[in-house]
């Protein structure tokens, strides 16, 4: 197995800043990719191991995420539906008190967490899913989004319940803490300590890929496309674009979750509103196609057409996109939600269940509807544009100048995702090395350096490795959720009683 020798990394970093030639950058990409590809392939093949079901290849990690979501949805009596209105009331501030422990409001916690899930994938990856699975994949994407709401409810409630309030008043929480302390309370201290540390190490490394390099790389690619492509002024200047993004991210994350929340509480509603309005306008302009599109979504979900594996293949594609988009079961969002100002952990569980609804049921579904109302099935599945280019073409089919604001939204999606994942990685870092401002600053510098690397070069192998580490976190996280589920059920019952809305389970 090839190893990534230190001199290769040094050469790569120097090349980012001192080699002007795009050809040189590509050679660096090739060297690094070839060095770590065998290791990456082995890790990815293990984590994303698939089994054939009904002619479709089903990744076991997706089954692990979806089965947990379905279990918790039934176990907690469809709290994702019963608690929806109450969740909105909490976000609006009906149950808030700034005197409670924590750093940010319920609304700020929601926007900070949503910023980590709403990203390039909501625009590009949905298009890929519909291209492969047809309109029917959208139906299963919506179903998976609904059940994923319950997983978020469970993990974010635990995130607050087992959080650590530090001497300076800041909060540290998330899977690391409820795995360690929650399992210790169950007499499983050794297992909990191991799972918590494993989770922390995985999120520190993984955040540099999915929440960092991938985002800056795709943001740069979009900027290049709307400024003239390879003949445009930004071609070959990925390092500069990355440096600008790194500086902006660095300025914001230096203030911790309060600073991040102040930005995301304004940025997330703004960028989501722009995208939603744009999507609704395009769908409205294609209103005559809407009935047929809805019919295709429903019928396609239960037919043998669309993807390899027929019905099973379409269902898995929809479930996979939803699971990878809203990250329900990964546990990352619990890190942001654990900083909320509250003395009742269950309240943040309600707030958190809105996250998959916004990310998947609303934004991802709108992307799918834009595609199926703008193009016929043959065009979507054909050899033409794919990913974000296909979504851009769908918008441009009705609004010729739409690709420009769409690219701006894509960059904002990427930027907000980097802010959230910088915080997630920081909390994993201090869990491993101990709390302290200097230690947080060290990781902040590392994170910003990788933003530049991500925009300047395309390290497929490293991105694949980081991506795999993100999803392997679902294994220890969901083990903990299953063990601690009775606590959540008991807490929920008591909470309903306390607010005068007791309901029988």
Domains identified in the chain, total number: 2
The CA distance from 223 to 392, in Å, is 13
Residue 41 sits in the same domain as residue 5: yes
The CA distance from 198 to 171, in Å, is 21
- Per-residue pLDDT tens digits for 30-71: 666 677 677 777 777 877 788 876 666 778 888 888 899 999
Among the candidates 11, 32, 47, a domain finishes at 47
Q: Residue 504 falls within a domain, yes or no?
A: no
Residue 13 sits in the same domain as residue 121: no
Q: State which H helix or E strand residue 56 sits in.
A: strand 56-59
Q: Which residue has the tokens 């492509």?
A: 229
According to DSSP H, which parts of 375-436 are helical?
Answer: 377-381, 387-396, 403-433
Residues 172 and 257: beta-carbon distance below 8 Å: no
Among the candidates 47, 62, 82, a domain finishes at 47
Residue 346 sits in the same domain as residue 403: yes
Q: Residue 486 falls within a domain, yes or no?
A: yes
- Per-residue pLDDT tens digits for 223-241: 887 777 777 777 777 788 8
Q: Residue 193 falls within a domain, yes or no?
A: yes
Residues 12 and 458: beta-carbon distance below 8 Å: no
The CA distance from 132 to 125, in Å, is 11
Residue 24 sits in the same domain as residue 121: no
CA atoms within 13 A of residue 59's CA, in its CB half-sphere: 20
Q: Residue 360 falls within a domain, yes or no?
A: yes
Q: Residue 194: which domain range? A: 49-498
Residue 275 sits in the same domain as residue 247: yes
- Per-residue pLDDT tens digits for 329-370: 899 999 989 999 888 899 999 999 999 999 888 988 998 899
Residue 53 sits in the same domain as residue 42: no
Tell me the pTM.
0.84
Residue 363 sits in the same domain as residue 310: yes
Residue 8 sits in the same domain as residue 84: no
Residue 11 sits in the same domain as residue 71: no
Residue 197 sits in the same domain as residue 216: yes
Q: Residue 503 falls within a domain, yes or no?
A: no
Residue 28 sits in the same domain as residue 80: no
CATH at residue 402 = 1.20.1740.10
Q: Residue 505 falls within a domain, yes or no?
A: no
Residue 429 sits in the same domain as residue 473: yes
- Per-residue pLDDT tens digits for 458-481: 666 666 676 677 788 899 999 999
């Amino acid at each position: 197995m090839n190893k990534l020798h230190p001199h290769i990394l040094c050469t790569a970093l120097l090349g980012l800043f001192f080699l002007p030639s795009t050809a040189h950058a590509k050679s660096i990409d090739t060297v690094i990719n070839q060095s770590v590809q065998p290791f990456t392939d082995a890790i990815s093949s293990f984590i994303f191991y698939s089994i054939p079901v009904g002619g479709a290849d089903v990744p076991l990690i997706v089954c692990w995420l979806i089965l947990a979501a379905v279990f918790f949805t039934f176990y907690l009596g469809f709290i994702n539906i019963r608690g929806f209105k109450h969740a909105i009331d909490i976000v609006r501030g009906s149950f808030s008190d700034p005197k409670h422990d924590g750093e940010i409001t319920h609304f700020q916690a929601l926007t900070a967490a949503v910023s980590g899930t709403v990203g390039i994938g909501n625009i590009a990856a949905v298009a890929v899913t519909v291209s492969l699975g047809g309109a029917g994949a959208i139906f299963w994407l919506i179903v998976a989004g609904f059940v994923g709401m319950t997983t978020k409810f469970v993990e974010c409630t635990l995130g607050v319940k087992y959080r650590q309030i530090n001497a300076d008043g800041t909060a540290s929480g998330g899977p690391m803490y409820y795995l360690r302390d929650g399992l210790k309370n169950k007499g499983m201290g050794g297992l909990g300590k191991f799972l918590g540390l494993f989770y922390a190490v995985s999120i520190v490394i993984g955040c540099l890929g999915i929440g960092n390099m991938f985002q800056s790389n795709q943001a740069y690619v979009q900027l290049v496309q709307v400024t003239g492509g390879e003949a445009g002024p930004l071609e070959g200047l990925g390092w500069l674009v990355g440096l600008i993004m790194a500086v902006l991210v660095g300025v914001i994350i230096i203030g911790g979750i309060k600073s991040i929340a102040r930005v995301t509480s304004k940025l997330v509603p703004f960028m989501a509103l722009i995208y939603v309005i744009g999507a609704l306008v395009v769908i409205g302009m294609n209103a005559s196609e809407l009935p047929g599109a809805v019919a295709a979504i429903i019928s396609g979900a239960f037919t043998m057409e669309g993807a390899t594996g027929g019905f099973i293949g379409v269902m898995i594609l929809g479930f996979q996109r939803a699971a990878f988009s809203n990250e329900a079961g990964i546990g990352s969002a619990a890190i942001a939600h654990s900083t909320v100002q509250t003395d009742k952990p269950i309240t943040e569980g309600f707030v958190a269940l809105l996250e998959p609804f916004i990310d998947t049921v609303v934004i991802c579904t709108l992307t799918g509807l834009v595609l199926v109302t703008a193009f016929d099935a043959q065009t979507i599945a054909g050899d033409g544009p794919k990913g974000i280019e296909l979504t851009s073409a769908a918008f441009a089919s009705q609004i010729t100048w739409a690709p420009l604001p769409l690219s701006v939204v894509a960059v904002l999606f990427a930027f907000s995702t980097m802010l959230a994942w910088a915080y997630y990685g920081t909390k994993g870092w201090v869990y491993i090395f101990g709390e302290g401002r200097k230690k947080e600053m060290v990781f902040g510098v590392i994170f910003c350096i990788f933003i530049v690397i991500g925009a300047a070069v395309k390290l497929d192998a490293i991105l694949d490795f980081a991506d795999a580490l993100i999803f392997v976190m679902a294994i220890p996280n969901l083990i903990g959720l299953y063990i601690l589920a009775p606590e959540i059920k008991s807490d929920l019952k008591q909470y309903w009683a306390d607010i005068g809305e007791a309901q029988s389970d």
